[in-house]
Amino acid sequence: MDEITNRDLSHWVEFERKRGFKDITIRLWSRQFNKICRNAKRLGYYIPEYEWGEWIVKDKPLRYLTDEEEQKILKELDPSMVTDPKHVKGRQAARDIFIVMIDGGFRINEASVLKWSDIDFENGVIYLYRSKVSNDDFIPMTNRLRNTLINRKRLVDSEYVFPGKFGGHKTIKNNRALEAAFERAGVNDISSHNLRKTFATRLLNRGAAITDVQHLLGHSSVKTTERAYAAFAKNERFKQTIDLLDQPVQPRLKVVK
C-alpha cells in the first residue's frame, strides 16, 4: 500500500466518475480505504498520509422528528388502542423500543439485543457494547426511559428486554412494527434510524457540546458527528444569536466615582 500515491487516488476517483458513479458512492469507498489504512497502521505497517480531493456531494437535509410527530407516533403505538392480546403485547414492545431509541440514541440492533443485566436502575445508566465501533459504552437514562424500562421489567420474563417469540431477542420485527406505526401516523419519510438523529438534534438544540453528543452516539471520531450534525448546530446558534435582538436591552450601570 505504501506504493499508492495521492495522484493514484485522484486518477482512481476520476476513473470511477467516468464509469458513472456519483461522488457520494465513491466517498463511501474512500472511507473503507481509510479504514484499511488505519488497521494496517495499527499492525505496524508504514502507510503514507493520504489526502482526498473535494467531493461533489449534496448532503440530504437532516431529518428528525418534531414534538408533534413524536406524539402522533406514540398515539399509534398506544397498546390501549387495540383489543387483541397478541397485538397489545406487540404494540407495547414497539412503543417501549421507540422510547429507548429516541431517548437513548440507540441503533435498532443495539436496542434489540439489550439484556436486563445491561441496565443499572440504581445509577440510571444502560451499558452496551457498540459492535459498529467495537467499544463498550454507557448511556444515562432520562426519567421517561427509566420509567418505561421499569414498567417493562414487570411484563417481561426473559433475560432480554425485547425477547423473541421463540427465545433470544427480537430482530427485524422491531423495525417493521415501528415503520408500520410511522405509516399509520402519516410520517412516511423516516426510518427507525431517524429516532437516533432526533436524539442528537434535541441535545444540540439544548446546548450540548458536540463532543458529548459524539460520545453518547458512540462515534469513534468527533469528525463523524460534526459531518452529520455541524450544519444543524450552526443553524441553531444563528437562531439563538438573532433571538438576542428580540430581547430588551439591559441597562448598563454607571460607575460613580
Q: Residue 137 gets which letter from DSSP?
A: E
| 211-232 pLDDT tens trace | 999 999 988 888 888 888 877 7
Average pLDDT of the chain is: 86
The CA distance from 112 to 114, in Å, is 6
Q: Which of 142-156, 186-200, 212-226 has the lowest mean pLDDT?
A: 212-226
Where do the structural domains in the chain lie, given as residue ranges?
A: 1-58, 67-239
The CA distance from 107 to 95, in Å, is 15
Instruction: Find out whether 210 and 225 touch, Cβ atoms under 8 Å.
Output: yes
Helix (H, G, I), strand (E, B) or coil at 138: strand
| Model pTM score | 0.72
**In what order do the strands lie in the sheet containing 125-130?**
119-120, 125-130, 135-140
Which CATH number applies to 67-239?
1.10.443.10
